[in-house]
Structures are given as C-alpha cells and as structure tokens.
Amino acid sequence: MKIAVMGGDGFVGWPTSLHLSDAGHDVHILDNLSRRWIDTELGVQSLTPMDSIQERTRIWHAETGRRIHFNLIDLAKDYELLKKWLAEERPDAIIHFAEQRAAPYSMKSDRHKNYTVNNNVSATHNLLNALVEIGLDAHLVHLGTMGVYGYSTVGAAIPEGYLPVGIETTEGETVSQEILYPANPGSIYHMTKCLDQLLFQFYAKNDGLRITDLHQGIVWGTHTEQTRRHPQLVNRFDYDGDYGTVLNRFLIQAAIGYPLTVHGTGGQTRAFIHIQDSVRCIEIALNNPPARGSRVEIFNQMTETHRVRDLAEMIAKISGADIAWLPNPRKEAAENDLIVKNEKLLGLGLQPITLQGGLLEEIVDVAKKFAYRVDRSRVPAVSAWTKDIARTINRDPEGKKLKSVS
C-alpha cells in the first residue's frame, strides 16, 4: 500500500514508518516537526541523540534500499497544501499521529491548552474534511488513547469503544442500543482525543469514511526490530516531566541514581503496551479495515495493566533505587482499578510483549549509555492541573536545594 504517516517523526510515528516500510509499503511522512520545536521550548532533548528527519530517512535508504518520503506539512494550518498533497498522491491508507501527545504539556498554561486544542482538533478535522472534499476512500487509522474512558472505577471491564445500554421508551419498554463509551477526559490533551471520537463518528456516518480508532495505553520501551539496525535510526526517548512516560521515566531514574518519583499514593492503575507491539497493532489495524459505510472500528491497544506504585517497587527491587513519594500534580482519583477488554487485536494475531526483566534492562542500558545527556533539573513533573495544586508541587525530589544554617 501507499501509506501516509501523519506525524511520522514522532515517538510512535517514526518506528511505525520504519516497520511499514520494512514490510514493503510505500511510506510518506507528513510532519511539521513541532515535537522538535517543543524540545527547544522546554530546553530539554531526547535522551537518545536524534538526527534530522532527512538524515534518518537517508540512513534507512542506505541500510535497506527502501525510501521513506518526507513532506513538511502542518495539518492544523496548511489545509490547502494538505488537500493538494492528498489529491495528487492518493494514499491507500493514512495513519494519524499528528497531535500534541502529552497530558502534562497540555496543562502547563493557558497558552499550552490553546495550542493543544487548536493543533489536535484542527489537524483531525482538516484531514477528514480534505478526504471528503477530494473523494479519497483511504482507510484512516488514528492513534487515540485509553484516557478517553477516564480512570474512574465502575466495577466492570471497559469495552472496545462501544457500550451496550438499555433505554426505557415512553411506553415503558426497554430497547437496546450501543453508544460510544461515555467520555471522561482527565486533561486538555485527553479532551481533544474525546473530540476526535465525535468527529470520526460524524464523518463515518455522514460521508462513509473508513476509520479505525486505536485507544492506546502508555507506551514503554526503546527499540523495535528496525530501529536496532543502525545507531542513527534510534527512536526518541523522553525522560522529562512533561513527555516522559511513567515506566520509561522510572527506568532512567534508576539508571542515573535519581529517586523514583511516585505521585500521590501511586494507586493510579494504567494500561501499558511495548513500542514493538504498538507498531504491530497499527499494522494489524491497517490490514483489517472497516467496510465503507460502517461505524468507526475501535480497538483497545494495550497488553497489560499495572499500578504505578507496583511498577516503582518492582524497579526499586531490581535496581536498589529509592522511591520519592511526592504530591500529585494531576487532579485525579488517588486510587483506581482498570479492567480492559482487548480481545480484538489478540484475535487478529497479536502476541503481546509483557514486562520482562530483559526488556527493562535494555532500557536501563540505553539510559546509562546516554546518561551524560540528562538534565536532572528537568526530571521532576511540575506541570499542575490547577492553580491550587501548583502550590503543592515538589520541584526538588533529590533534596539538593541549599539548606539554611540554623
């Protein structure tokens, strides 16, 4: 297939582009490189050294003989350019990663909230709008989040997208209906993903677009089969308090002798997936498109769930690291259970990679190799969900501030 990967320079977009190119597809990356600009804004860089997207694709071609094409297009702002590219290239499938992906970043300030909404919602709508306008019947695969469901405990497994409900009619009878699982976003970022769901529902119903929405868990890991082939193909690795995912952050903290930062009780239960499984799931979704005119296909793209404190205690036991129990910058329940159905991807052949010592050690090895690139002051999570919470944030988990003499 000819596949357009929107946001193909990013944390999941880059290994996905390599995986699909390696499988024989004609891959075209469309990206505005905003994640690189955010590195500059935040004053923090990927733990792993990243070359330019042009150099990355050159190395891939040199190693494999296969080309990945790059196009500098901002989906949220360059609507006419996007529409022109789609009309000329007419890809068979489109993978949509082109959204600001960090909940903490989306809550940093009013400016960051506005940017996340404007970027994410406009990018999604511009893409859908353009597909309809040019009459392109491409299968759209979107990387969503488990966070659309929220993290409240209802005592039942979260279904894959749709919830069967009984509705009482005016005659007193009960009729059955399937609705989108009630959205319960926990941040501005998660809210944009909930809005994406409604946009997809409308365009599938109104215009017959073929759409798959992948509700993904937290991604962990560093390498995929393809990123291992050359040092310059390495994926980005975020460790900072805004973009670093919790398990990767714990592992780098252990590697550099930094306390494992657990916020609140650590009773937050989250869904996880390894980066290699993430790219496999996307390929499975591409190979199983919904029929034109059918409702949006939704997969829960996760392989296991864990409590944050259990992860911290496991890594502390392996590494000897200390745990720092800190105030929670997020406005969320202190404890939650999370039971998730994920039978669809398993039924289509996914064989999950679960938490294993070898893979955890691999991340620690990467962290130790590039530890000289770590700015320890950027490790704490300091983006607060409300102004009241901001007053409680601990910005010094290592306790290295100068103490007054008394």
DSSP tag of 294: S
- How many Å apart are CA 2 and CA 370, to the nearest integer? 36
Q: Is 372 a catalytic residue?
A: no
**In the annotation, is 269 catalytic?**
no
Please pick, among 105, 115, 149, 189, the residue that the annotation labels catalytic. 189
Q: Which amino acid is at 31?
A: D
189 included as an active-site residue: yes
The pair of three-digit structure tokens given for residue 2, joined into one six-digit string: 């000819």
**Residue 115 CB: number of other CB atoms within 10 A?**
19
* Summary count for the chain: helices (H), strands (E): 13, 14
* Options 83, 108, 193, 344, the catalytic residue: 193
Of the candidates 116, 124, 145, 245, the residue annotated as catalytic is 145
CA 107/CA 350 separation, integer angstroms: 34
Whole-angstrom CA distances from 289 to 66, 155, 224 are 25, 32, 24
Q: What contacts 286, CB < 8 A, 6 or more positions away?
A: 1, 3, 20, 93, 95, 139, 141
* Pair 308, 262: CB distance under 8 Å: yes
Q: Are strands 26-31 and 2-6 parallel, antiparallel or unpaired?
A: parallel
Radius of gyration of the chain (CA): 21
CA-to-CA distance for 3 and 351, rounded, in angstroms?
24
Between CA 393 and CA 382 the distance in angstroms is: 6
Positions marked catalytic = 145, 189, 193
